[in-house]
């Protein structure tokens, strides 16, 4: 798992942003940073840490914003420091991301990984993600495929993580994580999600109150 500091002042509060699969920190170029704490973004989950990310170990208070497959990655890596989490918002993702009922149907998830090097598959995914035309990525298709395959293996290997999220937001127009599956997933763990009627899968043009 890679990280990039967006703000580092030495305060004892931190915002941990967990990016979605295939993306990088550059998507957050215009993101509003917290005025009273540090901020770090995590991405590329091809190699997950054994426990809490080292970047967060010295903080007294953690706020979490996680998107897409970053929702699973955040819950998987932060379970051991739940008492430090002041607030955590999951957007367009679930704790069971490879599931027909609670995430993405396994055949679609695995098929995307297997065929990611086909340009038409990538174009279709980016269209369904509602990716803005000006949001490219410096990551290669091979790198993205390696990450998604590693995530599939990890999701199958580990049980669904315990819920660390205090809030969840669901894009009604999400064409990657079906909204109905997201609603079922959060209600299963006792979180009543906020439905964003105009939101597709992409979230980095929105303002999020944490």
Token digits for 180?
Answer: 């109905």
Task: Decide if 133 is inside a domain.
Answer: yes
**What is the C-alpha end-to-end distance of the chain, expressed in Å?**
23
101 backbone dihedrals φ, ψ, rounded to 5° = -85, -35
Instruction: Name the domain count of the chain.
Output: 1
pTM of the model: 0.97
Q: Per residue in 86-132, pLDDT tens?
A: 999 999 999 999 999 999 999 999 999 999 999 999 999 999 999 99
Return the pLDDT at 29.
85
Task: Decide if 209 is inside a domain.
Answer: no
Task: Decide if 203 is inside a domain.
Answer: no
Chunked into runs of 10 residues, the chain (210 residues) has average pLDDT values of 94 96 93 91 96 94 98 97 96 98 98 98 96 90 98 96 98 98 98 97 92
C-alpha 204: how far from chain center: 12
Task: Decide if 61 is inside a domain.
Answer: yes
Return the pLDDT at 30.
83
Return the pLDDT at 31.
87
Return the pLDDT at 75.
98
CATH classification at residue 96:
3.40.50.1820
Return the pLDDT at 96.
98
Task: Decide if 201 is inside a domain.
Answer: no
Token digits for 24?
Answer: 């990088």
Centre a 10 Å sphere on the Cβ of residue 16 and count the other Cβ atoms it contains.
25
Return the pLDDT at 6.
95
User: If you search the block for the tokens 């699973």, which residue do you land on?
Assistant: 72
Task: Decide if 180 is inside a domain.
Answer: yes
Return the pLDDT at 10.
85
Return the pLDDT at 85.
98
**Parent domain of 73:** 2-196
Task: Decide if 100 is inside a domain.
Answer: yes
Return the pLDDT at 137.
87
Would you say 71 and 93 are in contact if contact means Cβ atoms under 8 Å apart? yes
Task: Decide if 79 is inside a domain.
Answer: yes
């Amino acid at each position: 798992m890679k990280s990039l500091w967006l703000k580092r002042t030495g305060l004892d509060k931190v915002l941990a942003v967990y990016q979605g699969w295939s993306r990088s920190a550059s998507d957050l170029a215009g993101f509003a940073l917290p005025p009273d704490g540090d901020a770090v973004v995590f991405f590329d989950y091809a190699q997950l840490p054994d426990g809490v990310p080292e970047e967060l170990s010295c903080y007294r208070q953690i706020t979490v914003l996680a998107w897409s497959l970053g929702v699973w990655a955040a819950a998987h890596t932060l379970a051991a420091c739940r008492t430090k989490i002041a607030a955590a918002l999951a957007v367009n993702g679930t704790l069971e991301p490879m599931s027909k009922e609670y995430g993405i149907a396994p055949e679609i998830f695995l098929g995307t990984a297997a065929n990611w090097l086909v340009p038409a598959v990538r174009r279709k995914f980016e269209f369904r993600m509602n990716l803005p035309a000006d949001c490219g990525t410096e990551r290669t298709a091979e790198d993205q495929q390696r990450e998604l395959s590693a995530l599939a293996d990890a999701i199958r290997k580990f049980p669904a993580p315990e819920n660390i999220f205090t809030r969840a937001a669901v894009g009604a127009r999400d064409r990657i994580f079906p909204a109905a599956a997201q609603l079922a997933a959060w209600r299963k763990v006792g979180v009543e999600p906020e439905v964003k009627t105009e939101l597709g899968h992409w979230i980095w043009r929105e303002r999020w109150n944490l």
